[in-house]
Amino acid sequence: MNIDIIGAGIGGLTTAIALEQKGIKTRIFEQAEQIKEVGAGIILANNAMQVYDKLGLRKIIEENGNPISSMNITKSNLKPLSKIDLSYFEQKHNTKNIAIHRGKLQKILIDKLKPTEINLNNKLTSIVKSENGYELNFENGKQIQSSTVIGADGLNSVVRQKLFPNNSIRNANQICWRGVTEYELPINFRNELNEAWGKAERFGFVQIAENKVYWYALKSFKKNANEFSINNIEQYFGDYNLVIKDIIKSTKKEHINTAEISDLKPTDIWFKDNVCLIGDSAHATTPNIGQGACQAIEDAFVLSECLHKYEITKAFSEYQKLRLPKAHQVVKASWLVGKMAHLKNPILIGLRNQMLRLTPTSVNRKQNDLIFQLAEI
């Protein structure tokens, strides 16, 4: 069986690794001229690390990243409102949550894939059913025939737009800045993710390697993202804890990445005949619970198991059955957390903070238990 994968993001690369390990040959087609290092970090939660453990990548990811044993929501002065202790899940699944530079993760995945064909500078423009499967056309004029296609081409997926047109992208009306900086965090923050919630804004930071900190900051906008400028970022977070102000100050402005936050309104059809969607192309989520890539990584694992076990149509149908409910749950929970984090009304903020303080550990644990549990196949 040969499978063509559109997109060499975390989802596409992990799927190719998982399929190759099952003896299924893949070719990847990626629009970018080169796989560029994104100047940001990523948190690979326990569920993603369980998959990378199965794929033989856990050790190298751990060596290149930094373990995170607690996820905290705090006030702008970094006083905790809620703390999720991850050590329970570390013991339960024998894997840690790892924060890592995206560039390092990409390199680890690509190195593992050698000698799989990664065709760069191949932007898919159309996919049409043909006599022998599918005809794929690329912007560079190339045309290929393919028997089976996996669309791993992200939020604005061409595969999805061409074959599954009934879906919509939702703008969360939040602008997000991301940066990586050389910074020596106080020792108590080194194995924690801290996210400080303010008024319609928040700031998160985490160590990704020795003296390297990845941070992200979000603000709600009314009409469009131009209401805010990167030049004023220090001012926006001027009344936050000194550590946060120092992190921003230590980052070169030209290295800060700016994006608007969107997701895909949950959609119930992820496959049609011999074409299937994975990752953000199937279920893009807002980043509020740090699960977008983790869900793409789970897709890769489940889909490869299904393709190993069943013929194509049954494999795609089983994959959707196993993955869709959880992926949608993540999209919905994440959207809600985004709304809660960006409340503006001081009374509602006070109530929310009180609720966060009073939520029992057992409730937080139960929610994360569901997210960190992989599907049984």
Ligand X SMILES: Cc1cc2nc3c(=O)[nH]c(=O)nc-3n(C[C@H](O)[C@H](O)[C@H](O)COP(=O)(O)OP(=O)(O)OC[C@H]3O[C@@H](n4cnc5c(N)ncnc54)[C@H](O)[C@@H]3O)c2cc1C
Interface residue list for ligand X (CB under 6 A): 6-12, 29-32, 42-43, 123-124, 152-154, 158, 176, 178, 216, 259, 279-280, 287, 290-294, 296
User: Which residues neighbour 53 within 8 Å (Cβ) at sequence distance 6 or greater?
Assistant: 94, 95
How near is the Cβ of 358 to ligand X at its closest, in Å? Answer: 27
State in angstroms the smallest separation of the CB of 43 from ligand X.
4
Instruction: Give me the sheet containing 192-197, strands edge to edge.
Output: 80-85, 70-74, 192-197, 201-209, 212-220, 169-182, 257-264
Residue 177 CB, nearest approach to ligand X (Å): 9
CB closer to ligand X, 280 vs 318: 280
Nearer to ligand X, 169 or 242 (CB): 169
Joined together, the tokens standing for residue 76 give: 């702008």
Whichever of 32 and 377 has its CB closer to ligand X, that residue is 32
What is the smallest separation between the CB atom of 201 and ligand X, expressed in angstroms?
14
Q: Of 169 and 351, which CB lies nearer to ligand X in the complex structure?
A: 169
For residue 329, give both structure tokens.
């749950």
Q: How far apart are the first and last CA of the chain?
A: 21
Residue 245 Cβ, how far from ligand X at the closest point, in Å? 21
CB 23 to ligand X: min, Å = 23
| C-beta of 27 vs 353, nearer to ligand X | 27
Calculate helix-pair angle for 312-341, 292-309, nearest 10 degrees: 170
- What Å distances lie between residue 45 and 28, 121, 233, 293, CA to CA? 26, 31, 28, 9
Nearer to ligand X, 53 or 353 (CB): 53
Beta strands in 31-161 (DSSP E): 41-44, 66-68, 70-74, 80-85, 97-101, 117-119, 124-130, 133-138, 143-146, 149-151
Q: Which residue has the tokens 């957390």?
A: 337
d(CA 108, CA 114) in angstroms, rounded, equals: 11
